Amino acid sequence: MTTADQIKEQANFQQLAVEDFRITEEPYYLPIADEVELFLSAYEQKVPVLLKGPTGVGKTRFIEYMSWRLHQHLGEPSQEGVPLITVACHEDLTASDLVGRYLLEGDDTRWIDGPVSRAIKVGAICYLDEVVEARKDTTVLIHPLTDYRRLLPVEKRGELLEAADGFLLVMSYNPGYQSALKDLKHSTRQRFIAIEFGYPDRDQEAAIIENESEVDHEIAMDLAKLAEKVRNLKEHGLGEGVSTRLLVYAGKLIHQGIAPRRACQVAVVWALTDDLEVQRSIEEVVTSIFEE
């Protein structure tokens, strides 16, 4: 037994190759508009998709849901969804991080495929999260993958990879807080169809909060109301409105028995901003809405 196997035996966790990962249970997702239909059509037609929207509105949840949903749509017999390979982009992300690289192993070198290469090979959805964070020279690399060619040149090995059938490139992008420096290149963004994600309306948001955090309806409505109020402050001391995710966190804390005011303080107020004045203002909104 290898050490890795031993660890696996003792601890309660799973170790998977990225391409083996499947969403097996239906993720909770409340469609806001026609985004599901749009995505299904795009997948069918192999059109790359760009998900736009502020943080925490459910972009990632959406792609998970779609990956689960797609196998039903494609009529595959297996209960498992289409593989989903997620890459969180950051400013040091380079081409070799995506495509692959040589590693030294003993006296030899060994080639390791990057996540994009793997997705291409198995026909997975490749999800580049927060793509603007990546260096521009890196994003250019995916260009040939996104048009009719669906090819990935692997320079170091002198190879071309042609994407398997199920492969689809999806990126997410938050237009809100990026400075002009961190905008997407036009040559990149014009290779995708864009689906916009906004904040859900009060009732929808309350439904999401209720479902995710299991608080009662009234609290969920109040949290959604709070969100609406706080979002009024966007661009006015706040870089971005409060995300649904934070509201769900607040709801979970409340569900665990934390007083609503306190839960909102830690999950909303302090999480949102460091500006004392703005903190104070939001706290006043919180105390206006919640009684304790």
Partner 1 sequence: MTTAELQERYANELKGFGASLPDDLAAGLAGLESTLDESQLDRWAKGGVDLANHSLRSWEAAAEYYRASPQVAAKLSFEELEHWLSLATGLATESSLMAAAFLKATPDALDQIETTDLDAWSQQGGRLCRGNWKSIALAGLYFQHSPRLLDSLSLASVGRLVDIIDQLTERSYELANSVLEGAGDIFENLAPEDREPFLAFARAVTRASWADTRLYFERGPKLLEGVAEEERANFLDLASRVTMDVGRQGFPLFADAAQSLTQVDTEDHGELLAFATSIAPGSSTASMEYLKSAPFVRSRLTPEQMGRWAAAGVEVLNQGNAEGAEAYFRLESTRAEEMLRALSARVELPAVSQMLRLYAKALSGEQVAVLSSEELVDRNIGWMSESSATTEGTTIYLPPFVSSFPEQDSNFQVYKVFTTHQTGRLEFGSFAYQWNSDGPYTSTTVVDREEQRAVALAERTDEEIAAAEAAEAAAATESVTTTEMQRFFNLFGDRLLISGLFTIVEDTRVDAFVSREYGGIRAWLARLQSLEADRRPEVRAMGLRQAFVENLLRASLGRPDTIRWPETLQDTLAKALAALKVVEQTGASVQDSAEVSASLYDIAMRIPNIPQDAVDAEWLPPDEEMISIAPDMPGGGEGGDAPMPSGEEIGFENPEQPEFRGDFKPELVQLLMKLKDQQAGQQDGTASPLTKEQLMELLENSVEITISEWAEGDLASSLGMFLDNLEKDAATPASEKSNEGEGETGDDPGGGDGADDEELKVEVDWFYYDEWDFRASDYRPRWCRVGERPGEEGDTEYYEDILRKHHGLVMETRKQFELMRPESFKKMRRLEDGHEIDLDEAIAFHVDKKAGVGPLARVYSRRNKIERDVAVAFLLDMSASTDEEIEKQRQKYEEEEEDFQGDPSKYFQWLAQRRAKQAIEPPKRIIDLEKESTVLVVEALEAIGDAYGIYGFSGYGRDNVEFHVIKDLDEEFNDRVRKRIDKIDPVRSTRMGPAIRHAIHKLDEYDAKVKILIMVSDGRPQDHGYGRDRTEKEYAVHDTKQALNEAKRIGVTPFLITVDKEGHDYLKQMCDDIGYEVVDNIESLPRRLPTLYRHLAAD
Helix, strand, coil percentages (3-state) for the chain, rounded to 5, are 50, 15, 35
CB of 137 to partner 1, least distance (A): 9
Nearer of residues 81 and 251 to partner 1, judged by Cβ: 251
- Closer residue to partner 1, CB minimum distance, 16 or 104: 104
Min dist CB 157 to partner 1, Å, is 13
Angle at 42 between CA 81 and CA 169, to 5 degrees: 65
Q: Which residues bind partner 1 (CB under 8 A)?
A: 91-92, 94-97, 101-102, 104, 107, 109, 135, 222, 225, 229-230, 232-233, 236-237, 261, 277-278, 280-282, 284-291
Q: What's the closest the beta carbon of residue 102 comes to partner 1, in angstroms?
A: 6
CB of 6 to partner 1, least distance (A): 26
Q: With beta carbons less than 8 A apart as the criterion, state whether 208 and 248 touch.
A: yes
- Residue 81 vs 114, nearer CB to partner 1: 114
- Nearer residue to partner 1 within complex by CB, 67 or 138: 138
20: DSSP letter? G
Q: SS3 sequence, 31-96? A: CCCCHHHHHHHHHHHCCCEEEECCCCCCHHHHHHHHHHHHHHHHCCCCCCCCCEEEEECCCCCCHH
